[in-house]
Amino acid sequence: MKFHRTDAERPTAATGPQAAAPGGRQAVRVLAPLAVDVAVPLGVYYLAHKAFGLDLVTSLALGSVVPAARTAAGAVRDRTVNGLAALMLAVNVAGMALGLVSGDPRLMIAKDSGISSVIGLSILVSAFGARPLMSAGLKPFLTRGDAAREAAWDRLASGGGRFRALERRFSAVWGAVLLAECVARIIGAYTVPVETMAWLGTVMLVAAIGLGAVASGAATEPMKELLDAETRAASGRERPAPVPAAA
């Protein structure tokens, strides 16, 4: 999935308590497409199965068309082939094909876990790389569009130390939460009644996003404090020395 810049990711002028812990809120907005890709198919499934009386596999397959079409449309619109989006599209199409061929509705439900696992694993792996994926959404909210704070972020991030460790932790938390949700959904797909799991999967994903928002706060608040301190220190270093009074 390609994360597009939204209004939620644009810098704001928020200050004080409202800006103290934006990481969770921002991550929720960045990951909102995940919830959409589960909630919309759920609506399609119920409409097809309950309203029109289609069988379980066909109803689940119709629901899977929505996220697959959205991913493909995004690639056409942006005229770029995003590796993550392409992989998710492949997982979606393969899952639909296997589900229709095998006639197994549980496989159709388990397929959704493959999509969220791709995102979760990508975020988790990036936490140990040069550019943690979740930092792209967190930085605009902690810097609030202020050039001095953006410069302070860049210095802290390039310097390593505690700030860099917290930045990595933020992505690691989100990656771990999404992967845990994926495992739970796969288990549910093969142990819980299909009609129950059709809606429970959405609840599990929303709960995972909420958990990630809370758990990642342990990283965002210390990052904000370090960023504030670095900004103040830089301001002091750049302040011109007072001119001695004339005798």
Which carries the bigger pLDDT value, residue 193 or residue 205?
Answer: 193
Give the residue among 51, 227, 201 at the shortest CA–CA distance from 144. Answer: 227
pLDDT per residue over 49-64, tens digit each?
677 777 776 766 676 6
Residue 199 has what pLDDT? 84
The proportion of the chain whose per-residue pLDDT surpasses 90, expressed as a percent, equals: 22
Residue 152 has what pLDDT? 93
pLDDT per residue over 102-133, tens digit each?
677 787 778 767 767 877 888 899 899 888 88
Residue 4 has what pLDDT? 44
State the chain's mean pLDDT as an integer: 75
Reported confidence tier of residue 20, pLDDT bands at 50, 70, 90? very low
Average pLDDT over residues 190-215: 87
Residue 99: count other Cβ atoms within 10 Å of its Cβ.
23
| Residue 84 pLDDT > 90 | no
Angle at 229 between CA 228 and CA 230, to 5 degrees: 95
